[in-house]
Amino acid sequence: MNKKIAMVNVSDKPKTQRRAVAEAKVSMQKETLKLIMQGKIKKGDALAVSTLAGIQAAKKTRDLILLAHPIEFSHIDISFSFKKDALLIKSEVSGNARTGFEMEALNAAAIAALNVYDMCKYLDKNMTIEVKLLEKEGGKSGKFTRPL
């Protein structure tokens, strides 16, 4: 049995405005979250490092996701919100392209979360990470919004 592996051919698709939003939830002890919010993590500012890591991860998606198209985005934003025992990391990627930015947004959120984990593991080895696509828009398939 010989199976073909190939990237999807998007050369005939028109470029359209596209956007994808992903979220990583890093669950942790309340004390760990408090130290992150206060900027008192030994390795440094976990939110600043996580932001830069997420941006870099989006740029590197083409190298890490084997069948992802090497597409250019024009904007990426990494933002944070705090729950009582979790840090929520949201990545938003947008631009004008022939294919969507779901993988770039997911990769950015995941790597940002892994950087938080790395910087805080000395405090809390029980941290967990969940990553999901929240929404995407543009292209033939239109808009997707994850139900709450």
Start-to-end CA span in the chain (Å)? 42
| 124 catalytic per annotation | no
Beta-strand ranges (E) seen in the chain are 16-27, 75-82, 86-97, 128-137, 144-145
Q: Sort 26 into a burial class: Cβ within 10 Å, 0-12 / 13-18 / 19+.
A: buried
C-alpha angle 136-49-64 in degrees, rounded to nearest 5: 50
User: Which is catalytic among the residues 12, 45, 63, 118?
Assistant: 118
Q: Amino acid identity, residue 25? A: K
To 10 degrees, what angle do helices 30-38 and 102-120 make?
100
Listed in sequence order, the residues at least 6 apart from 67 whose beta carbon sits closer than 8 Å to its beta carbon are 5, 6, 7, 8
Active site residues: 118
